[in-house]
Structure formats: structure tokens, C-alpha cells
Structure 1
């Protein structure tokens, strides 16, 4: 079985996209065209510090004379974050109320505002109408959503509702939606595993074919069932992010870590193999959060082997052992 940090991060986003598609775009399109940016359930000032300066609020867009004044920002969150403080409109939603607010916005966009109550999940109807007006007046809108939407009540249904809201808006103007991916190159793992195995994460090869069933083949679920009898951790830190019961099982079985750094997982491992840092000590390709592959050149020399070299040597040894019976 192979899995990635996707299963504890944006896996609801992928499930929603598999159901209704992904009306997305590159960050370059947002930078040059979007005159309305909506941050929903995320706080880029603290979680993605360069996002606003490079691609949205403070980035000089090709089709803007004055980016700061011409571009509007809407923030939807359960608390007034640092990003919310600079927003033109801030919707403070009650925890778990994202689906209700998304549904209310969809109704208003379709001209059915009469069915929306005076307050939805703590947000007044008048404020929702102002956001709808901003969306309909925009030439190009971009929605960015984070774990505040995908990991709250509703999970992938929230994302599906958000995508369908964007589809409704796209009938009247141009709108896109993108996930605020956090883990380094996690999009790259999804891309590579999809074209190699047919699925983006949580793929089980125990049947001799690729089997994909999130909730059954995701890493935390198999650890909770105590099914694995060995674990290989590559460039990740489950020791700092997985539930206690999952970590206890990892500590009880042979676990090997391939990582350039010491982290919380290192203490659980019987073997730790240090490797070169991709993009600094060795050249490589990483996928940006919008799916654009970025080729990274080596900056400094190192004596450590690369992840690829270590995995190839392990693979050769496994094949030799299998051929020898």
C-alpha cells in the first residue's frame, strides 16, 4: 500500500473533484486577471506567506493599473484571522456552517434569495447579498479554500458545494477554484501516482492490482486496524501529525525513515537513512499547488545520496531476494 499526506490533508478535495470536476486555473491567471479573490477556510498570511504578495492582493497583474485598489478580497472563516483583517468583506461563519453558507450563496446567485433566512450559520443575509453582488460584478473571480472547509463537518460535500457555486457563477462571469495545498510537492505525488497506478493516493497493491477505496486503504485506517507489519516513511513526518493509536502501531513494527532531517518520526524508526535535500542539494521537479511542474536546479554539493538512489538500491535488492526465493 502506498499513500501520502493527501489522506490527512486535502483528500476530501480530491473526492469532490472526482465527482464534479475541477474548474481551476494556474496562479499566473489569478495574478493577471482576478479582480476578486475569496479565501475560504484558510489564512494565507500565516500559512502561505508569499501567496498574496506573489499571486493575489499585492501582486502586479498584467491587466491592472492599480492592483491594491482594483482587486477585492473576501475572507470566510470561523475567526478573524490576520488575512481577515485586510479583507474588503469578512464573513464569520459558525464552526461547521460552511455548507449552509455555500448553499445560501448558490440560491442567491440563481435568483432564489427569497428562500434564504435572515441569518445563515451566523452570517446575516445582507452580508451574503453583498458578497454575491461582488461576485457577479467581478470580471474574473478566484476562490481559494483550505482545511477549514475540507476538514470540517461535511468534508468533501463542502468542496463539492463550493465547486458547484463556482460553476453557477461561471454562467454569469468567469470564476475558478483552487485548493491551498500545504505539504511540499504533495500535488506532484498525486500526479505521478495517478498516471502510474490510476489513482491519486491510498492505493493498495495487495490484490496484485491497484485498488483504491479511501476510508479503507488510507494510511491511518490501515494503521488503526493494525494491518501493516512494516512501514517505510519517505520525506514525511507522521509522528507529528498522525493520531496517537496509529503512531503506537508504527512504533511496534519495523519502520524505516528516508529523510534529510531529524523529526518526530525519527524516534519511532529502527533505521533512519539521511538523503540529499531535493531542490537544494540535488536537482528535481516539484509540482506547485496549481499543478504546474517546476524544475529545480541543484544549488550546493553534498555527499548524501538522493531519495531516488536509495529507493533504486532497495528495489534491486528486493528483486534479487525474490529471484533467489
Structure 2
């Protein structure tokens, strides 16, 4: 059987939206040396495809990073299979906080150089010497300590819609940039407690080890990230210090943690925290758009893009020819086309 999807994305999205099957969105990661990432990837695809798993998974020599959805009826079978893989036995599975079962529409497993792009030379430091993992209650106690500096290890478009109270949220586009910002921030504050968090914990694994390598001794990281924290505070009935939405990298684009709306529509400035992608495939900008602007601009980021999506499909394709669809085209939340850009440089 083929080891990749061959059906057009638009068809799969429509199938996903109309499906009545209940699905569970799960994320997990594990740093572990994989001798043959390509072989591991192929075996994983075959087994996950049989179970109806959808999602995006990165495999590298350093481990695995996965965001997936699983049919609810196959959840236990999936977990048993995953735990039968030696180094993944008992790996923490982060279950989505807010889930409509429509997070992914196809299975995509890619072999990468790294499971998270960080720009670090892993041979130069001990990547296993990570910071102290803390649960929700311990995080809250540290957050209340005036000697603690809380740093959001995510990108600007993530922290824009939700973050912890009192956290420093660097205005960065990538994790690589984030690491340098945190290093510079802490240079004169090595006596402080550094408390880091991210979506599910994976970025903090590498970041905390790097900071310890640089000589910072009091390094802490939120175990399981925002996802696990939200579940723990609810289950334990303790204070929730996170406000707003948790941005997620799937079709949902966010899961509601609290009712606070701390962002604004990038087109009119109205309180809003709903991310969307511009409907012009030649733009596809990720930005925040309220329902009124969505109707006015036909789901686009500008009048220019709105006019383009009204053209025949063939004409749109002709306009897209030769466009570099790299980082600049898909740059998240940064464009001169949108008026309200709190984080724009």
C-alpha cells in the first residue's frame, strides 16, 4: 500500500467536516535516538493508517513529535500499539482541552533533521539535562514567587491570543529566535528562577537543557505544557493563571482555556481571538478575524485578496505562478495588509 496520502486535500477536508465519527485529538513527543528514522516512519505510517489515525508527525534521529486525532473507538487499541514500541512505552499523551474531532484531515508523517527546529548543535551540550518539571500547583507557587521570571517559549501569534498572567511573551516568529531572546533576557538575572512553558512541553525540553548548559541553575518547565496545566487546574479545583486561548497547530487553530479575549481582530480592532488563514491560496496569511470582517472580506485578509478569490479558479492559479510559497508568503500575523497588528515589527 502507498505510504502517503494521494487524495486531494479539499476532498479530505470536506470528508472530515461531514463525518459523524467521534475522534480524539492527542499530542505526544519523545526525545530518543532512532537509528533509522526512515524505516521507523514507514512502519509507523502502516500501523497508524490501519487504525484511522490522522495528523502530522515529525520523525528524526533525535525522536518523534506528533499531533494526531484517533477514532474514539480505536483510542485504546492505538495506545496499546504505541506503548508496545519500546521507547514510547508510557509516553505522556496530551488530550486536547477543547475538541470537535475535526483537528486533522489526513495522515502526514515526515522525516526531519529535528523534531523541533531550534538551530542548536546538540553535540555541544547534554540535551537530557533538562530543567525541573513542575505540575500545575507547583507552577502556581513558583509564579507567585517574586524571584521567578515566567517566559512564554512560543511564537508571537500564539501568545497573542493567550498566555500566563505576568509572563514575558517575546515578539518572535520562531523557536530559534526565542532561545536567543531568553538567553539575552536572563544574562544579568542568573540568580532568578526561570519558569518556562509552551503548548505541550516539547520546546521547553530543549530550551531548559540549553539554559542549564549556559549556566542557569534555577530552571523550571511546565510539565505537559498548557494542555496538561488546563486539565490539572480543572481536576484539582485550583487557580487558573492562564488567560485566553491556547493556539494549536491543526484545523482548530485554538482551544478555549478561559473566556478572556485578550486579542483583537486584525482588520477592525474589535476584541477577537479567532485565527484563520486568508482564503486566497496565493497569500494564506494566518491572522485574527472577527465574524463581521470575515463576511465583509469573504474570509480574506484584504480587499486585494478578496478580489482575487472572486476570480475563476484557473485565473487564480495563473496569478499564483512563480510566487515563492515559503516563509514570507505564509508569514503568520505579520502583513502590511492588516491594520491592527499589536506584534508587528
* TM-score, structure 1 normalization: 0.29
Q: Which has the higher contact order (CA 8 A, sep 6+)?
A: 1
User: By percentage of residues, which structure has more helix?
Assistant: 1
* TM-score, structure 2 normalization: 0.28
Larger Rg: 1
